[in-house]
Structure 1
Amino acid sequence: MIKKMEHVAIIVKDMDHAIEYYSDMFGFKVRLRGTSKIREMTFLYLGEQPNIEIELIRDIDPMIDYNKRGIVNHLAFTVENINEAMNHYKKKGIEFLSPDPQPTLEGGRMILFHGPSDELLQLVERVTFVAKNPLA
C-alpha cells in the first residue's frame, strides 16, 4: 500500500529563520508555504530528490499536544487512495486519531496514527493535477 516516503515534519519557532537555515545550509528550496487557522507550514525539497520533503511547522494556536510531540513531529507516507489505505490498515489493527481524513494545505487529504513506539505517523493522499487543454 505504501508508495514512497513522503516527508518528515519539524516543529520550528521561527519560520523565516528555519527556511533560511535549511536553504542556506543544505540547499533546500521552498515548494509550498501557507497558513491555516492554527499553524504555518512550509514544504522544502532538494533538487536532486524532489519527492521527499521536509515540512516545517510553526503553531499559531497550539492544538492538543501536536507541537509537544517532539522537534521531529511525524513521519508521513504517500498513499494513492486514503480511504482504501485506511481500510487496509484498520484490518491490520491501526487506530487512526480521527474518524475521517483531514484536508492538507494543497488540497489533498491526510490522517494521523501512532506507530509501535507511540511515534506519530501520517498517511497522505496527494492532489493529482490534470493539465487542461487550452484548445478545449
Structure 2
Amino acid sequence: MFSFEHVAIMVKNMDESIKFYEQVFGFEVRFRKKRSDREMVFLFLKNAPQFEIELIQDIDPIRSYSTAGVVNHLAFRVEDLQKAIDFINEHSSLNIAPDIKPGAEGQMILFEGLNGEMLQLIEK
C-alpha cells in the first residue's frame, strides 16, 4: 500500500543547494516549481530514481514550513489517498482528518506521526 516518496529539506539558497546535491552526490533536477509562498525542487539519482529529495525554500521565511525543521517531512506515495488515510486511522492511534489538498504534483495530506514528526501522503 505504501512506497517511499521523498525526504524534504528546508534550504536557504535554492540554486546553491541544487548545485551541491548535483555536484557532490550526482542528483539531477526532475521537477521545479515556484509559487508565491515557496519554491520546490525534486532531485533524483539515475541509479535509484525512486529515491528523491525535495528542496524547499520559503519565499517568506515566517511561513510554517520554515519553522518545521531542517528535515521537513517524510513522504509516502499511495495509490488511493482516502484508503490510505482510513488504513492509518484503523491501524494506529492516530485520527487523521481527511484534509486533502493539492500538492506540487497530484493531491496530498500532511499530518503528525506518533512522535510529532511531519508525515505526508501523496497520490499522483
Q: TM-score, normalised by structure 2?
A: 0.90
Contact 1:10 1:72 in 2 (8 A): yes
Could you tell me how far apart the structure 2 residues matched to 1:118 and 1:60 are?
A: 25
Could you tell me how far apart the structure 2 residues matched to 1:52 and 1:93 are?
A: 28
* Percent identity of equivalent pairs: 49
Partner SS for 2:36: coil
Two-structure CA RMSD over aligned residues (Å)? 1.6
Could you tell me how far apart the structure 1 residues matched to 2:9 and 2:88 are?
A: 25
Q: How many residues align?
A: 123
1:125 aligns with 2:120: no
Letter in 2 for 1:81: D
Could you tell me how far apart the structure 1 residues matched to 2:95 and 2:14 are?
A: 32
1:111 aligns with 2:109: yes
Question: Structure 1 residue runs of 4+, over 4 Å off?
Answer: none
Query: Which residue number in structure 2 is paired with residue 131 of structure 1?
Result: none
* Unmatched tracts of structure 2, length 5 or more: none
- 1:64 positional shift: 5.1
Which segment drifts farther, 26-35 or 110-119?
Answer: 110-119
Q: 1:80 to 1:63 in 2, by over 3 A?
A: farther
Task: State how 1:18-97 maps to structure 2 within 5 Å.
Answer: 18-62=17-61, 65-91=64-90, 92-96=92-96
* CA-to-aligned-CA distance 1:71-107 (integer Å, 9 cap, x gap): 00000001001011112222233233x642111222x
Could you tell me how far apart the structure 1 residues matched to 2:81 and 2:75 are?
A: 13
